[in-house]
Structures are given as C-alpha cells and as structure tokens.
Structure 1
Amino acid sequence: MPSIFIVFREVDSMDLRKKLPFCVGLLLRLIRKNYRIYVTCTTGYDRSPACVIAYLHWVQDTPLHIAHKFITGLHSCRPDRAAIVWATWDLIALVENGRHDGTPTHSVCFVWNNGREGEDVELVGDFTSNWKDKLKCNHKGGSRYEAEVRLRHGKYYYKFIVGGNWRHSSSLPSETDEHGNVNNVIRVGDIARIRPAPSQLQIKDPSVVKVMERALTEDERFSLAFAARLMAFAICPIRLAPKQ
C-alpha cells in the first residue's frame, strides 16, 4: 500500500501547529483524487487525530468542539486542541494580511489586586497607543480590579494608574527599562503552543496567556476554508512511496 510519511516531533505543540496546514492540505488533495486514506501516527493518540480534526474544522466547516468530540468519541485519544486552535488563527491571519502574526487572538485579563472600593484604576501600556490611551479597570469586588484586552502573540509592558498615580504590581512579573522605570511585563502566548514536559506540569507562569478558542465569525470561516485550500494546492506534486 503506498504511503506518505510526515515527521512530527512527539509531544511538541509548536511543531504540530506548523505542520498541520500542510497535512490538511495533503489530505484534501488525496481525497479529491479519490484515494482511501488511513491516517495514523506512532501511537494514534495525539498527532493523527489532530490532523483529522483540523481537516473537519477547516475544510468541512465543522465547528471545532464538534469535530473534537466526534474523533475523541471514536477511540481513546488526546489530540492537542491548543495547537489546532493556534494553527487555525495562523491560517485566518494569512488570508487577512499575508502574515502569521495576525489579528489579536488572545484574551488577556489584567488584574490589579491592591485597590479600594470606589478607587479609579486604569491600565496603560505599550499596547494602548504606546502608553497614550488609558483603559478603565472594572471593580470586581474587594481589592480586585480587572481590564480585558485582546492582544496578539508578543511581549508587552504595562502599568496601572491608581488614583492618578502610576504604579506597577509587585506581585506580577516586572522589568526595569533603560530609564530606570519599573514596568510590569507579560509574554502573550510565549509557551502556550508548547506542551510542557511532565516535570513542568505543576509550574504556572502568570506572565503566559494561552491561545483563545472561540466560535468563528462568518468571515473568519470563509477565510479559514480559503486558506486551507490555498495551502492544499500550493503543495508540490505528491509522490506516493511504496511501503517498505
């Protein structure tokens, strides 16, 4: 039986994210040629189910949660859902602006935990028109104030303005800039695409925000389907190798 081998690094979300579009494009090409396809990996536990779920989501327009439930219901497996989501945003961004940084896809909740009721708390940073605009934080009870912002992958600096005074949170990651100012820092999506080693599973980094999963808009669904087909027909002529 002819076979096509694609090398994935095991338990590596970043590698899966990068190669999923190629795999889905390959599946689409082969299906259009009326091949009967058997998708598998070493264990059948994570990489091959992820490829099929991505195909259903991108090409068949199946909502991700339904595709995921369908495949995981067929047999015991644990596909890397976060990698599929991230690759989805990559494809949408590719259509929107030709780049992979894309639109803001992370929902980031900034928290000030040292406030008092009735106090004015605002958020400002290099993502608010380069420190010019101020975002009002909502009082959530007690000393907690929150502001939710959508950001793309990257490193950002920010501070809180409390009662007119610029302050940083000592309980959150911070860095000192070249002028001696201490700012809080957040790395959005820095390791969200990399599944941690078992020894790191108990470590929680408050400066890292995982990729956001939500229902796609009609325009995003169209962009996703268009990008998946572009990827499929950008693949060089397929050569089937006899199984050794």
Structure 2
Amino acid sequence: MDSITSKKEIKTILSELWASCDSEKDFLAKVESELLLKKTKFPLLEFAALEIHSRLTEKRRNDLLDEIGRLRHMGGYVIAGMMLQLDLETRFEESLAKAGELMVSGDEWYVCDIVGERVFGHCLLVYPERTVPILKRYLRHENGWIVRSVGVASHYAVKKGLEKRHVETLLSLLLEKSNATDFHTKKGIGWGIKTIAKFHPDLVRKISDRLEDDLSVNVYFKNKIRIGLGKSAKYASKRPNQKRS
C-alpha cells in the first residue's frame, strides 16, 4: 500500500485533483484512489479535510460525506468527522445528525470513535451548555453506537480541558449507564469514566466508595475507575482547567 507522509504531498494530490476532475463522479473516485486507499496518518487526513472543505460547496461536501459513508474506508471517516466539525458553527444540528448517521451506517467501533471524537467531542468541548442536553438524549438512544459515542465525546472533551463543572455533570450522566452490559456500550462509557478519574480524581473519589458497594454498578466500570484513579497522579496535575462555556 502506498503511503502519504507530508502535508506537501496532500497539497500536491489535491491540486492535481482540482485540476483534473471535470465531474462530480471523477472527483469522488479520485478522492478514494488518491487519499482513502493510501496509508495516511490521521493528522494528515484532517489537514486534507480542511483543504477540501474550503474548496467545496455545501452540496458537494454533502455528496462527499455520502460517498465516504458508502465506501466505508477508515480514513474516510477521519475526513468526514473533520468536515462536520468545521460545519458545527453554522450547521450545528445538521452536523450532529450527519455524524450520527455515519456512525449507524458504518456499524463499527472505529467509526463511532473517529467521528464521535471529532464531532460530538469537539462540540462538547466548545459548546458544552448546548451539547450536554443532547448527549443526555443520546444516552437513551435505541442505537448502541450513539450511546457509546457519549463516552467517546466525554473522553475527548475532558482530555482537552473541559471546564470542571461540566465534567461533574458528565460524570453523573455517564454513571446512569453504570449497569450496562452491552460490550460496545461498556467500552465507550467506561472510556469516558476512566478519563474523568484520570484528570479529575477528586470528583470520582467523592463517590468511589459508594460505587464500590453498589451491586448494581457493573464490575467493568468499577475497574475503569480504579485504573483511572491509579493514573491520576500523572495526569491530573498536567491538565489546566480551561474556561469554556
């Protein structure tokens, strides 16, 4: 498999793509052959998404997102997630809805995590007041990937410095699923809880004894809390409490 290793290569590929594609069909085919079928690190794919987003109309961006969903290449979901992130400011509800659609149709853990971090996670970090109520609804969603994405988003936002008062709200929210038994739901929610324990051990220690004694709390989550608290000495002091609202 060929590799792309630099932003310079990305720019060259995209310049050739803009110059040579006369039709929508040609463009979509070239994106697949020149980007998605090559081994490329995620930051470079995110850079490609920035470049592509700046050149395409809304309609062509939507067409590309649909094609990415149809092709189901892992790298495509990185591009899709980043493009949707860029649309959050102007198309908030539509971007969240499209992200959820990609997760459901993609039907893989990595689709949920790639798109969930870049869209729901970023959304939570930048627009917490607006996003937390949405995540509360997602936690009760009929699709397991959407439920998992709440933990994924929490992990991302907390790691990036979400304000503590919102972290405390998230912890209470995630613990509503502390009796979950579905494998993928547990993984996502547990990821979020562990990250909170790592970066905000004081919030978790206040309730850890009660959780340990609560037989309704899945042992999986108790273990995630222990792991997170065990790593907190390394991580908690390094994460500034950013003021975001």
* TM-score, normalised via structure 2 length: 0.31
Q: Which has the larger radius of gyration?
A: 1
Q: Which structure exhibits the higher relative contact order, with contacts defined as CA atoms closer than 8 Å and separated by 6 or more residues? A: 1
* TM-score, normalised via structure 1 length: 0.31
Structure with bigger strand share is 1
